[in-house]
Structure 1
């Protein structure tokens, strides 16, 4: 898929083979897991990165010619575009190749939280267990990503961390591509300090611990409120005493003045 497609009247377009219609277009995720995004320092490009929980969903399909692993990330209380947080892994058993979709590339929201590497690692691990001898076909990289140096470096680091080889045909690092790779040579790693998979029992323990901490905070708050009430009562008593003393002193002063004026 190129950035500048040829005109419909050109011979290249007329001779192009018809697109292969892939099966399982209506497959939706069937298994879900909770992911914990660890709180991180604010990033200058992506902004704040607070503690957050998201849902990772996946589904598998197999037949004699192909296999599919479909993965999505769901953000509670937030909607994303259709092409975001979505990754398909297509396996062709005839050609013994593995490909990734969608064609627009892996687009993750929120960025820089470890989600992309986790999804890629999950996809690689799934393929390595079954078809380690298959080949991931190389492809050209999107030139738009190379227009910003930080974006290009982040993309290349992502690919290289999973075992892909990135090469460039020019010194400006604009025309990049990924070389063919053997599935068994890829790396299924992600940053576990940024992202952790939370199992059901762990989630239940976290809720239980949170409830316990909340109860402790309520007890502490009640004790503080009692102390404040006590101090307020003592303060009121002191104010009353001071008022009485001031009134008595004024009475004495007035009495002394009256006695003095009567002589």
Structure 2
């Protein structure tokens, strides 16, 4: 998993009958509860570029049975499409084995990266699980070796996992064969940086919109006042230009008249 636990159709001949794939449990579940998230503006990062203020949509849905529970979460970006496996995190709870696992199998893929979204999703997953099944456990898992090829990426990943409460270890000196040990859900950290990612409730959002509209009206009044001042200055400038032109014409006339008088005496 990029920021947490990692979980990857051959056409048959026409004469061969098609075999339908067995649908996965709750595969068609889509988020049903939505909230707005505020991504705080951050300093430009050398790896990810600019990080301006953004608002995104956080959606989630739950399903429960006697044997299994599911929490499905995703992040939607207004005006921007992402791949299906991006900005998605599933939390699967097996009540028979009392094991919690994460999906998708390809790991968490976040867009935009380095804005705190991954930490937020994992914190939500841990919080949801701890409320009901704090004694359940997350089995140990291997870390993707490709992350170890870049020292900065590996350090970011390991710091992320350790701040959540996972124990990271390596079987080689090159830090390529990394793994995370088994941990009890109740021992994990379910917090995130609220300064980077803030949940905006409906009432707060409406207040923000009202304040923005009020600010826009005030700015419109100020712009209108400035436009009136500019118009006044333009009118005064035109009058001054006309007066100057008249004075210059009169001065030229007087100079010409004096020259004529001096040459015709």
Q: TM-score, normalised by structure 1?
A: 0.91
Task: Indicate the structure whose relative CO is greater, using CA pairs within 8 Å and at least 6 residues apart.
Answer: 2
Q: Match for residue 18 of structure 2?
A: none
Taking the aligned partners of 2:104 and 2:170, their CA distance within structure 1 comes to: 23
SS for the counterpart of 2:58 is strand
TM-superposed CA distance for 1:22, in Å, is: 5.0
Q: Match for residue 15 of structure 2?
A: none
Taking the aligned partners of 1:98 and 1:177, their CA distance within structure 2 comes to: 17
Aligned residues: 245
Return the match for 1:206 from 208, 214, 238.
208
Q: TM-score, normalised by structure 2?
A: 0.90
Return the match for 1:47 from 33, 46, 49.
49
Matches within 5 A, 1:164-183: 164-183=166-185
Matches within 5 A, 1:53-64: 53-64=55-66
Return the match for 1:258 from 248, 251, 260.
260
SS for the counterpart of 1:197 is strand
Q: Match for residue 219 of structure 1?
A: 221
Taking the aligned partners of 1:245 and 1:80, their CA distance within structure 2 comes to: 69
Q: Match for residue 84 of structure 2?
A: 82
Return the match for 2:245 from 243, 246, 254.
243
TM-superposed CA distance for 1:247, in Å, is: 0.8
Return the match for 1:187 from 182, 189, 196.
189
SS for the counterpart of 2:25 is coil
Gaps of 5+ in 1: 2-19
TM-superposed CA distance for 1:130, in Å, is: 0.3
TM-superposed CA distance for 1:155, in Å, is: 0.9
Return the match for 1:97 from 99, 105, 126.
99
Gaps of 5+ in 2: 2-21
TM-superposed CA distance for 1:23, in Å, is: 1.5
- Name segments (4+ residues, structure 1) moved above 2 Å: none
TM-superposed CA distance for 1:154, in Å, is: 1.0
